[in-house]
Amino acid sequence: METNKTTTIRPSCAKATAGRHLDPPAPRLRRAGTSTPRHLDTSTPRQLDPPSPRLWRAGTSTPRHLDTSTPRHLDNSTPRHLDTSTLLITGGSGFIGSNFIHYLFRLPHFTGKIINIDCLTYAGNPLNLTEIDEKYGGTRYFFEKVDITDHAALKTVFEKYEIDVIVHFAAESHVDRSIAGPAAFIRTNILGTFNLLELAREKWGSRRDVRFHHISTDEVYGSLNEAEVEAKFKEDTPYDPHSPYSASKASSDHLVRAYFHTYGLPVTLSNCSNNYGPWQFPEKLIPLMISNMLEEKALPVYGDGKNIRDWLYVDDHCSGIWAILEKGETGETYNIGGENEWTNIDLLNVLCEIVAEESSKAKDHYKKLITYVKDRAGHDRRYAIDCGKIKAELDWTQSVTFAEGLRRTVRWYLEHPEWIAAVKSGEYLRWIELNYDKR
């Protein structure tokens, strides 16, 4: 097999760790000069024709046009069971990845193992997984500090563990940062994904009782017009990414699908809307606003504050991913959303009230901190997800209301001031240096 060139690409982690600072809430790009509604092109749906029926658990009956030079080291007719699988989680020390690892260990029927590979950029925080490491470290939980852009290092992980499932979260994920410095997004999101796909293909050969699940975002679909209240992103909405972040995610999505169509790699994809919950780095809207409130700092709102986002509690994203792993069809994409659209300013007002209530302040105490700042050019106006497919086909639904999820989130940040302080002071970066880099 041809060796890919990413082995020579400089890992992005070291660079990303430098210059850590907290930014205003994430802007999203809108096509320059686009005021016209972007219609969902339903006339030309992008079909994903699965080359074979669903093979997860069921073993395989029809091996596809595979690279036969790759060893078939396992009997395809032996079904693997998800509950006892070894899952490789990339980016497991980030916000959603760490929540997913907590979620898995809470599942009563999950008895498998988790390998977390993360290079610990500014957004990766091992403190998110302290309890897991204490309880399961070395038996069912294993951490490998690896950069996915480093093909050679990644290969050692594939050689060390017998992996059944890959859930690929690792990414540069902050739109603001992608505008300031897109290179790390191209390296991690595109080349890192390519490395994983290549190694999975090489390692798994013709196995079909395995799965590569790729985590993506609703931002790949572009922007909706707020006037078109019924319009939502569906799985067949044409891609129209507007920022270096969403373009790099779109690119990785295409690569993942290409590996399904070309090599028969058993993949699934999910595109999710904005997540919120515990352990989210305070550069993103909700944790940034909470931590600013607690410090009585200004609460910056871009433009008129009327940009609309759909919000999903992170545990509901995790349950959606699990449902896809359990029941999803290979080759398929599932949109996951909260069906919970809020303008930024309305959300902020509600958040101000919850934080005030939870910290025994007057109802409007924090609202006086709201400050409108100049909008960023190209800020996407509205995102909305149609998650009818995952609901109908996989019997998934959201379980946490926005009121409940926001309150849980606020309480978590109030109860973990040391986590916020450590993250904001850079203390945890020094801890990483001490614990991982100088070993």
Ligand X SMILES: NC(=O)c1ccc[n+]([C@@H]2O[C@H](COP(=O)([O-])OP(=O)(O)OC[C@H]3O[C@@H](n4cnc5c(N)ncnc54)[C@H](O)[C@@H]3O)[C@@H](O)[C@H]2O)c1
CA distance to 201, 202, 233, per residue, from 68 (Å): 11, 10, 39
Rounded to the nearest 5 percent, the helix, strand and coil shares of the chain are: 40, 15, 45
188 forms part of the interface with ligand X (CB under 6 A): yes
The sheet with strand 274-276 has its strands ordered as: 274-276, 308-313, 341-343
- Distance, in Å, from the CA atom of 370 to the CA atom of 169, rounded to the nearest integer, reads 33
Which pair of tokens denotes residue 198?
A: 């290549």
Contact (CB, 8 A) for 97 and 169: yes
Per rule CB under 6 A, count of chain residues that contact ligand X: 31
Contact (CB, 8 A) for 205 and 68: no
Sole binder of ligand X in the list 169, 212, 302, 313 (CB under 6 A): 169
Give the nearer residue to ligand X in terms of CB position, either 76 or 291. Answer: 291
Give the nearer residue to ligand X in terms of CB position, either 144 or 357. Answer: 144
222 forms part of the interface with ligand X (CB under 6 A): no
Binding mask 275-314 vs ligand X (x if CB under 6 A, - otherwise)?
A: x-----x---------------------------------
Give the nearer residue to ligand X in terms of CB position, either 123 or 186. Answer: 123
Give the footprint of ligand X on residues 132-161 (CB under 6 A): 147-149
Which pair of tokens denotes residue 321?
A: 């991913």
Nearest distance from C-beta of residue 130 to ligand X, angstroms = 15
In the block, tokens 């992005």 appear at 12
End-to-end CA distance of the chain: 34
Give the nearer residue to ligand X in terms of CB position, either 217 or 333. Answer: 217
C-alpha 212: how far from chain center: 14
φ, ψ of residue 301 in degrees (nearest 5): -120, 125
Sole binder of ligand X in the list 167, 200, 215, 289 (CB under 6 A): 215
- Near ligand X by CB under 6 A, which window of 104-112, 121-129, 258-266, 390-398? 121-129
Contact (CB, 8 A) for 426 and 281: no
163 forms part of the interface with ligand X (CB under 6 A): no
- Near ligand X by CB under 6 A, which window of 30-38, 90-98, 370-378, 399-407? 90-98
6 forms part of the interface with ligand X (CB under 6 A): no
121 forms part of the interface with ligand X (CB under 6 A): yes
315 is annotated as an active-site residue: no
Nearest distance from C-beta of residue 66 to ligand X, angstroms = 27
- Distance, in Å, from the CA atom of 236 to the CA atom of 238, rounded to the nearest integer, reads 6
- Near ligand X by CB under 6 A, which window of 165-173, 349-357, 385-393, 402-410? 165-173
236 is annotated as an active-site residue: no
> What is the Cβ-side half-sphere exposure of residue 140, based on CA atoms within 13 angstroms?
16
Give the nearer residue to ligand X in terms of CB position, either 103 or 207. Answer: 103
Sole binder of ligand X in the list 91, 264, 277, 282 (CB under 6 A): 91
- Distance, in Å, from the CA atom of 280 to the CA atom of 418, rounded to the nearest integer, reads 14
320 forms part of the interface with ligand X (CB under 6 A): no
Sole binder of ligand X in the list 167, 171, 400, 406 (CB under 6 A): 171
Which pair of tokens denotes residue 2?
A: 């041809």
119 forms part of the interface with ligand X (CB under 6 A): yes
- Beta strand 370-373 pairing with 333-336: unpaired
Nearest distance from C-beta of residue 218 to ligand X, angstroms = 7
Burial class from Cβ neighbours inside 10 Å (0-12, 13-18, 19+) for residue 53 reads: exposed
**Catalytic sites, residue numbers:** 218-219, 245
Interface residues with ligand X (CB under 6 A) are 12-13, 91, 93-97, 118-121, 123-124, 147-149, 169-173, 188, 192, 215, 217, 249, 272, 274-275, 281
